[in-house]
Amino acid sequence: MADLKSTSSEIRRTRANAVRALSMDAVQQAKSGHPGMPMGMADIAEVLWTDYLRYNPSNPKWADRDRFILSNGHGSMLHYALLHLSGYNLPMAELKNFRQLHSKTPGHPEYGYAPGIETTTGPLGQGISNGVGMALSEKVLAAQFNQPDHDIVNHFTYVFMGDGCLMEGISHEACSLAGTLGLGKLIAFWDNNGISIDGEVEPWFTDDTPARFGAYGWQVIDGVDGHNPESIASAIDRAQAEAARPSLICCRTVIGWGSPNKSGTESAHGAPLGDEEIALVRENIDWPYPPFVIPDEIYATWNAVDEGKASEDAWRAGFERYRTDHPALALEFERRMSGALPETWSDKADEFLRDVNAAADTVATRKASQQALEGYGPVLPELIGGSADLAGSNLTLWSGSVPVTAADASGNYIYFGVREFGMSALCNGIVLHGGLVPYCATFLVFSEYARNALRMAALMKIRSIFVYTHDSIGLGEDGPTHQAVEQTATLRLIPNMSLWRPCDTVETAVAWRMALERHNGPTCLLFSRQNLDFQVRDEQQIQAISRGGYVLRDCEGTPEAIIIATGSEVGLAVDAAARLNSQGRRVRVVSMPSTDVFDTQDVAYKESVLPPLVTARVAVEAGVTPTWVRYVGLQGAVVGIDSFGESAPAEVVFEHFGFTVDNVVATVEKVMTA
């Protein structure tokens, strides 16, 4: 419990005003930005950051630090001002470069730029959803590692959010699950200022927010004066004391607090205040200092370097006692928080791949994915995942799966419910927290619901794994509402997203391995509903799978034509090539489970697979066709589907849309004679 009596109200208001001044001055210098939220939430931030938040500015990655997320990320200058004032390595020059090219202070907080930024926020609602993932990680890791008299994982996740975050549907998904899972270490502050870009929110946002969160199973602390330190501190004390439920602190604030003419209005929201108004603010809040000038005595009241070091040192001393009593757990905790895979990983993964190849199973690749979880799961205790109410269809459960519940969070399986967007953003939060490697699953067509969370994972370059089954018109009778045709192509277009569409058990094992070993970005794994034939390969071909594309079936001499295929269409391509080759033609089959990985290979390798002189090329994939032009060229052709599907048994649908040996053969013959 904080002792606010030790700090005068004058000092507190001065500290908060330093945040206000830096925020409005940076926005004014940039000629763009959002001064209103930072000025309105400065008093809340001052109490939280100076009296409650456990952090070490000298080590932003301290494992047991509290996490702070600015879900209303448009108010980024609040966060940058806090980082600068408290002693993080974010000099004033970076604040002066707010929103400028290559600065550490972009328009919205971006992970990997300024130290202390825990996640990229801006798309409203995703910050709170990431926070749910971080709080879940804390609860899971605490259950897995803490021992009697040793709480090495014991921290809070604090989230600032505004009306916009609460209007976004994703906040409903994530906050509902947070209540169900009893995430008592999650504390969210609602900036209830009643203003958005379009003005007063009452004409379009009349939700009873406290009742809503109460229905989710949250502790709701209402009626908090967001400009009164005692009221704020009392609310935080109550929130910290509630172990079984997340807490929503409803803070009534005035947007643009301190601005004589613009506070409480939308004009303070998303535009600079203007030089004249800023001069009036300075006078109104008694801030006589020029822009970007903070007196040393104010810096001294904010600086948290020594206190932060002491907090981490105390934790480290406790961790060394933990190491003495539980040496194996201590080593495992350090490994998992570092993100490194186990020492045995490579050998175990190689062994599993050999076993998969020897088994030569003909199964659906969704089943092959489950087999991969069975193979890799025992080696990776950090692996945690689940499905959006489709466990029996996505096949995300494996024999070692143990559900995570409010009562027992020591497991490794999350029943996400029908929450595709929230699920995906929550997984991003799990990655960002550290110590766990998450996967989440649904049907491929419903990746659309989650799209912006996937984009954020790619933007942040984090290791989220998105599993999508029922990947094409092969879904069959459920029809075009559930049959993915454009999703594979559009997912490939996301920068830094790796996508694998394997054709059998061996390619699936490799795809999972590549996703688990990738540390600089997310991966989408696309799997079939229907059984796919096992493809025989030699050792060299098996090794080549990890290069994204390789020669699966070759011909005598220089090919006359090349068929490129992915996933469920690889078997079709092999059968078509076999018929053509039996007729005396020379046709090569290239399996390309990952176009993005293939594209990163050296020119010599790519040309060995796709010789430039062979211009008769046909791509075969049960999806839209335009993205394959780059591989088949203007003289080539694509057997695909540029319409929505139809409801019928899968084999009937495939035949209807031309995914037959006869059609592929005819298409190859046509390009060879063109």
| Residues 95-152 pLDDT 10s | 999 999 999 999 999 999 999 999 999 999 999 999 999 999 999 999 999 999 999 9
Distance CA 659, CA 641 (A): 9
Q: CA nearest 246: which of 454, 374, 126, 406? A: 406
Across residues 458-471, what is the average pLDDT?
A: 98
Looking at residue 181, its pLDDT comes to 98
User: Considering the chain, what percentage of its residues have pLDDT values greater than 90?
Assistant: 99
Q: Are strands 413-415 and 498-500 parallel, antiparallel or unpaired?
A: unpaired
Across residues 285-309, what is the average pLDDT?
A: 98
- Who contacts 304 (Cβ-Cβ below 8 Å, separation ≥6)? 49, 50, 55, 56, 57, 86, 87
Q: How many CB atoms lie within 10 A of CB 338?
A: 12
Across residues 220-235, what is the average pLDDT?
A: 98
Of these residues, 420, 507, 569, 621, which one is catalytic? 420
Q: Is residue 79 very low, low, confident or very high in pLDDT (cuts 50, 70, 90)?
A: very high
pLDDT over 60 (residue 1): no
Distance CA 160, CA 188 (A): 6
Q: How many CB atoms lie within 10 A of CB 576?
A: 27
Q: Is residue 654 very low, low, confident or very high in pLDDT (cuts 50, 70, 90)?
A: very high
Across residues 308-332, what is the average pLDDT?
A: 98
Q: CA nearest 134: which of 182, 180, 179, 185? A: 185
Tell me the H-state helices in 339-479: 345-359, 365-376, 391-394, 420-433, 451-460
Name the DSSP class of 245. Answer: S
Across residues 487-491, what is the average pLDDT?
A: 98
Q: Is 420 a catalytic residue?
A: yes
Q: Is residue 7 very low, low, confident or very high in pLDDT (cuts 50, 70, 90)?
A: confident
Q: Are strands 531-532 and 498-500 parallel, antiparallel or unpaired?
A: unpaired
Q: Are strands 617-620 and 561-565 parallel, antiparallel or unpaired?
A: parallel
pLDDT over 60 (residue 5): no
pLDDT, averaged across the chain: 97
Looking at residue 470, its pLDDT comes to 98
Token pair of 498 as six digits: 């790796």
pLDDT over 70 (residue 612): yes
Looking at residue 661, its pLDDT comes to 98
Looking at residue 674, its pLDDT comes to 80
Across residues 312-326, what is the average pLDDT?
A: 98
Q: CA angle 584-590-593, nearest 5°?
A: 155
Distance CA 106, CA 114 (A): 9
Distance CA 256, CA 262 (A): 7
Looking at residue 367, its pLDDT comes to 98
Token pair of 391 as six digits: 């466990």
Phi-psi region of 193 (alpha: psi -120 to 50; beta: other; left: phi over 0): alpha
Looking at residue 345, its pLDDT comes to 98
Looking at residue 3, its pLDDT comes to 62
Cβ atoms of 549 and 500 closer than 8 Å: no
Phi-psi region of 323 (alpha: psi -120 to 50; beta: other; left: phi over 0): alpha
Cβ atoms of 62 and 55 closer than 8 Å: yes
Token pair of 388 as six digits: 């959006």
pLDDT over 80 (residue 495): yes
Q: Is residue 420 very low, low, confident or very high in pLDDT (cuts 50, 70, 90)?
A: very high
Across residues 458-473, what is the average pLDDT?
A: 98
Across residues 595-606, what is the average pLDDT?
A: 98
Exposed/middle/buried for 153, CB within 10 Å: 0-12, 13-18, 19+? buried
pLDDT over 80 (residue 6): no
Distance CA 468, CA 463 (A): 16
Q: Whose structure tokens read 């009562």?
A: 407
Q: CA angle 248-142-166, nearest 5°?
A: 20
* Amino acid (one-letter) located at 588: R
Q: Are strands 363-364 and 531-532 parallel, antiparallel or unpaired?
A: antiparallel
Looking at residue 4, its pLDDT comes to 63
